[in-house]
Structure 1
């Protein structure tokens, strides 16, 4: 329970800045300035300050305060007799283990907890930051470089008529003029889909015979997702073998329609012949609603977008260390405890605040009914929903929830029920630390209750799929980031190893993977998981496991191709070893990565910086062909890269496809997801659907041809696709590059389709500001401060560029 404090959050504010000792290299000292904005003195001695930060902070003790790492991303500051007088402030200096490269790594989620009653708390809402800026010289150089890069892709040599690009398209003379109402001839099973998809363009009337405007014919010779589309001056004809093909043909008609300039109220389509099918059968998007919650409406919105761009798998990441976001009947603690974060986590009825949740104590999760609706909605759009149940690592929310259940039943004198779903060994003294700074988040494979829990959860998911009328054929059970040291101090593991004749905890890992795979096989499920489930540690780190039984029932989602990380060729090695693999490239399609090195760009940077060109540069099966064009520096050792394994023909047969995704550590608001995902999402759509280009090979790569395709790609994205979604998506608008030539500043935008506005007094541009003219540039005078940005039709402003005029 939250008890209202005498002093509320309006009385205090926090300002973040670098410390005087900060140099961005060896001295990573930062400051939190805590100020009393109220009219009464505030006794800090009664309160402890808590907050989140992405990067660990060193413990520190001074005369006025002490800083302590509580694990996860939670830090505590205690005070020594400090009283803040009105308008007074306290400077708290601390040292980070890593440099803070951007806004998403700034500390957040500040709250105060009364250290006497341990129940009274309040969040601090007034938090501001002194943003780190480039020097004037560095900024001028950066903007000029951006100008030149944008300039190189301003002219599109070919027009993309349908996006993503179809396998074959031939345009002919003439136009099909769309009537106010069109007649449709199709199998009755297709009526709902056709009505839903076509009604945004024109009214529909179905007919069983005669001459129809739109005819859908079954052609059993075509693949499951293939279609043939013919648009003549008199009729539109679609051939497909299954529902998916008909759906994608209509999506292509809508895409064609979006790119046409309709004049005088006339709706037309160019006459075309299209023969199309996807490059990959697996075309996925991973959505994380665990670390920061997104409700059902956001999931449905993204399912619509996935369908529009012909993606067919939603990898649903809703279970993590920081939250369990799905209702499971019979295990209420999973959402009562596992979906709730609270400053009162020490009471055992909630998780610790994380990623900026601060004093928000509401349990946020999808109900069973929500998930069933999502399943049905996805099925209508030919999208398979694959739930991810994180095991054995990233399982802290489940562990803490089942520990609360254990304690509840123990208090009731029911030890058998208490132990039924216990997920950890309370006597485990193992010392480990995960990349997310946890030391208590891994399931214990020696406990039979772990497998009872997994089966219980899988059975409940099966019931939800059954009620939705959707086949349940695949589940991800995680498998990633189990750290060194885990299980080594567990008496349960020691006894289990002796029983099994094991000599190393590394053998516990392969036992666990084999066992959960057998559980999935028993339930008619394919086991999906991160790359580690197809790997083994033989004492020198994880390597490909060639001996895993039933490997064909295991889909590996491979993210690790980080340049310089030592696993650049991992996806190819696993595919070559016979594992069905899906590439989710951290270097290209992890959309939670920062766009560039600008401090105000949101996202993370541990894998890469990825602007649209960088993302588009991915060649899924041959990414060494052009890696030198978007990476540089010491990490790109061409002599070492040449020694890495390439995919072979056996590997290509096991390479199922690709996906992109957004992990949610930095997504405090819904619009943060839109900003990070779009427009990079379009790269995923193109690479997953469009056929392999002739230059996607180390032998045939031609950067001039690639760059021409990229220019056409961004032309379509900027002038058509982003225009279509700007009323429902807060996507990233293009940034403006600048180049001063005397008294004229020239400008370019990263992608076209939007107006550019500017001021010369340093104020932020709005729609009432001057509109920049590309033909003339911007006339300036020495001493002015040019501030320029793209604005969309609704007045939303893109990243701002500023230039001090010399």
Structure 2
């Protein structure tokens, strides 16, 4: 019998149980887990990467290190350690422990018979082989936890910190990507060289007439206007928008009466600004006037005025601005599914999006790791799908993922119906459209498991018809698959069962009702559609009989495409000659489009691989189809984006190598982020993005290894719908981490979404671009433009962000030898130096000389960059 049964039967006393088992709470206080990488080139170091089935034969050799910090020995049995890994753990070479994979990134480490325990103060090192490599501290997730029968799970206290590193310092050049690395480590000296390459930093007075994003035309007239407050007189704006402007003014310290600002929607504006969002702003000594094409233009003109004013008020130049947006879609996607973002954080984001004229908030509301929106009639979606706990049956919650711990110390939460409606209203008042995404048919495990709980519950109540109404799987499906993030077939909804279209329609109708209640009708629905595949059927694997030294060996015959063994899908496909399971994702997209069209939704959106094979938007029932293009430029995104746009799809550029804000700012293991498409994406790189001429980017930046690559302008010219930044949240467990990663890159995104710079070349077929080979781009003009942007951000906008409570990143300084050898990313950035890394002195130019330790500091003195040592990290 199990222990609980023995207790219930009176065959085991509580005192005997306490004697027989370790106290996991006490054990969790004393035990810690760290990861050491010995070689990221595992095969060269003797690891059997190919035989262990590593993708492309790539693996690392390292160690799991268990350290007993306590005064008593760690017992030899009756406990299990659960740990997270974003890399597939292929083997632990120890006779004392068994390693098993549960689901996603969750693994179990169980002592075997014969294990002798860990003595007080001792360390136990378990040789490890893992897929690919570990190059950044954030590759190792926190909150491993202990489990023993009859006791509450306990997180290892020494691993219970979202910001600490549990990866030991990488030895030698192990920070380099084994796939090749052509760039140096971004240490203090290299950072100084990088900042210097961007040219001189400007004074605040040099950019008094410049705003972010830059305007189409600005004509200063040499005068000045003092602004200590603003009196808004914009009756053509809706009341909620006027209230939003008043709130922003107050946030900038401009509350109360002051410079009168009048405005109206007018005709007769110049043709290039007589478009949606276009406006003309005149600032004079006695007041300001906004003439706009529409209400949105009035709002944006007001934001430009606010952009000219320093935090707390001051003098601004008198001038005339004529302006209009570059793209209709100026977006930012927030993944609230992997790790939840609090409503207050989302509101702060909306405020800043509005301030910098972004207008589409794409909310990724569901994924394998979480469902984040309350849906009337389906409470299990949030009761189960929004929580993580240690329930191996996943009846009350999802299993822990992404370092959440067994008790939602990070990751948990959801938007109630009321909170979502309030968020919609908040966004609408700021001319921002919220585009909800419910990701299907893959990345849907949270929904699948929640509906399985619903099914079991209603079956127990004797309601089989109701139980099956929203069931999302075929219970007879035995397909053997592994998803991109290591989930089995329960990651996919099954497009062949009747519960799926009913579920989609139910969710869409409930979300549409929330939008109607908010006064923001649901116009666009993003269904995701991405990565409905089995990664083990990818090009990096071969059968056990294979001879390729660069591909992992697996039993290919045991691997299936999604739904390949589903009787429901076999029956459906039997009536469609020539169709296979490979056609089901696109067929599902067509089914979703019909549901959306019936609900009156104009636009269906999807990640581009969700619409692979579609001939045109006419394949779908909605009036418009939006493609979010997320391939990289060095893998052919330029051609693919042009092809989608020229077929008539509304194509939104979301290139990971430029527009994924979950990637590190710089090539340094201490920077957080995934890096499969870019190891360094700072604000300058985002600013340098040329979306209208995608091949041009190959002359300005390298690929993910720092190597030059060529992109030809071979496709027919195309017009894109816009661009969008992405904040995926796998390694953003806290809202503070999210804001660090989002800001200040969000401002560079806004610059490119709103304004086409003069250094961006027009797209011309037949041109070819490659760094160091072609010489078509005016890099000097790019740097001059950056200098102005950086000065506005450093002298004016950083203080506004901090005043709004935004925790933007404080960059470490660049350091060279000598008193003048100090540079910051943005002018105006405060610094401190120290002789010992403990006692800090505010920096003034010429001070510090050869001080060994430096750090950046926020304007309010409350936050700091990581500490840097002169001459290296």
Q: TM-score, normalised by structure 2?
A: 0.83
Deviation at 1:586, TM superposition (A): 0.6
C-alpha contact (below 8 Å) 2:527/2:606 kept by paired residues: yes
Name which of 406, 423, 436 aligns with 1:387. Answer: 436
Q: Which residue number in structure 2 is paired with residue 688 of structure 1? A: 753
Q: Which residue number in structure 1 is paired with residue 196 of structure 2? A: 151
C-alpha contact (below 8 Å) 1:317/1:388 kept by paired residues: yes
Is 1:791 equivalent to 2:857 in the alignment?
A: yes
Is 1:310 equivalent to 2:348 in the alignment?
A: no
Q: Which residue number in structure 2 is paired with residue 556 of structure 1? A: 627
Q: Which residue number in structure 1 is paired with residue 310 of structure 2? A: 258
Is 1:487 equivalent to 2:563 in the alignment?
A: yes
C-alpha contact (below 8 Å) 2:703/2:709 kept by paired residues: no
> Could you say what the CA RMSD is over the residues aligned between the two structures, in angstroms?
3.0
Deviation at 1:632, TM superposition (A): 5.5
**Aligned positions of 1:42-121 closer than 5 A:** 42-60=74-92, 62-81=94-113, 82=115, 83-114=117-148, 116=149, 120-121=152-153
Is 1:225 equivalent to 2:277 in the alignment?
A: yes
Question: Could you tell me how far apart the structure 2 residues matched to 1:635 and 1:690 are?
Answer: 28
Name which of 8, 12, 25 aligns with 1:8. Answer: 25
Question: Could you tell me how far apart the structure 2 residues matched to 1:155 and 1:20 are?
Answer: 42
**Aligned positions of 1:118-133 closer than 5 A:** 120-127=152-159, 128-132=166-170
| Structure 1 range deviating more: 521-530 or 345-354 | 345-354
Q: Which residue number in structure 1 is paired with residue 296 of structure 2? A: 244
Cα deviation, 1:31-79, whole Å, max 9, x if unaligned, reads 2222333444432411111111111110346321011222311111110
Q: Which residue number in structure 2 is paired with residue 289 of structure 1? A: 336
Gaps in structure 1 of 5+ consecutive residues: 207-211, 537-542, 781-785
Q: Which residue number in structure 2 is paired with residue 518 of structure 1? A: 594
Question: Could you tell me how far apart the structure 2 residues matched to 1:546 and 1:246 are?
Answer: 33
Deviation at 1:129, TM superposition (A): 4.2
Name which of 568, 571, 578 aligns with 2:641. Answer: 571
Aligned in 2, Cα 1:29/1:12: closer, same or farther, shift over 3 Å? Answer: farther
Deviation at 1:387, TM superposition (A): 0.6
Question: Could you tell me how far apart the structure 2 residues matched to 1:283 and 1:21 are?
Answer: 42
Question: Could you tell me how far apart the structure 1 residues matched to 2:147 and 2:125 are?
Answer: 19
Is 1:705 equivalent to 2:775 in the alignment?
A: no
- Specify the SS of the correspondent of 1:733: coil
Q: Which residue number in structure 1 is paired with residue 426 of structure 2? A: 377
Q: Which residue number in structure 2 is paired with residue 235 of structure 1? A: 287
Question: Could you tell me how far apart the structure 2 residues matched to 1:433 and 1:295 are?
Answer: 31
Is 1:621 equivalent to 2:621 in the alignment?
A: no
Deviation at 1:185, TM superposition (A): 6.1
Question: Could you tell me how far apart the structure 1 residues matched to 2:78 and 2:418 are?
Answer: 44
Deviation at 1:180, TM superposition (A): 6.0
Aligned in 2, Cα 1:687/1:347: closer, same or farther, shift over 3 Å? Answer: closer
| Structure 1 range deviating more: 572-581 or 395-404 | 572-581
**Aligned positions of 1:267-278 closer than 5 A:** 267-278=314-325
Deviation at 1:489, TM superposition (A): 1.2
Name which of 813, 816, 829 aligns with 1:754. Answer: 829
Aligned in 2, Cα 1:180/1:518: closer, same or farther, shift over 3 Å? Answer: closer
| Structure 1 range deviating more: 132-141 or 789-798 | 132-141
Deviation at 1:132, TM superposition (A): 2.4
Aligned in 2, Cα 1:520/1:31: closer, same or farther, shift over 3 Å? Answer: same
Cα deviation, 1:586-636, whole Å, max 9, x if unaligned, reads 111101011122110001100112122222221112121132321059896
C-alpha contact (below 8 Å) 1:772/1:778 kept by paired residues: no
Q: Which residue number in structure 2 is paired with residue 401 of structure 1? A: 450
Count of residue pairs the alignment pairs up: 769
Aligned in 2, Cα 1:225/1:41: closer, same or farther, shift over 3 Å? Answer: same
Q: Which residue number in structure 1 is paired with residue 468 of structure 2? A: 419
Question: Could you tell me how far apart the structure 1 residues matched to 2:651 and 2:229 are?
Answer: 47
Gaps in structure 2 of 5+ consecutive residues: 5-13, 46-59, 160-165, 176-182, 269-273, 535-560, 765-775
- Specify the SS of the correspondent of 2:393: helix
Question: Could you tell me how far apart the structure 2 residues matched to 1:19 and 1:246 are?
Answer: 56
Aligned in 2, Cα 1:614/1:203: closer, same or farther, shift over 3 Å? Answer: closer
Q: Which residue number in structure 2 is paired with residue 534 of structure 1? A: 611
C-alpha contact (below 8 Å) 1:446/1:492 kept by paired residues: yes
Question: Could you tell me how far apart the structure 1 residues matched to 2:703 and 2:578 are?
Answer: 45
Deviation at 1:248, TM superposition (A): 1.1
Aligned in 2, Cα 1:702/1:410: closer, same or farther, shift over 3 Å? Answer: same
Aligned in 2, Cα 1:534/1:173: closer, same or farther, shift over 3 Å? Answer: same
Deviation at 1:788, TM superposition (A): 1.5
Q: Which residue number in structure 1 is paired with residue 501 of structure 2? A: 451
Q: Which residue number in structure 2 is paired with residue 176 of structure 1? A: 225
- Specify the SS of the correspondent of 2:795: helix
- Specify the SS of the correspondent of 1:788: strand
Question: Could you tell me how far apart the structure 2 residues matched to 1:338 and 1:577 are?
Answer: 37
Name which of 496, 506, 515 aligns with 1:465. Answer: 515
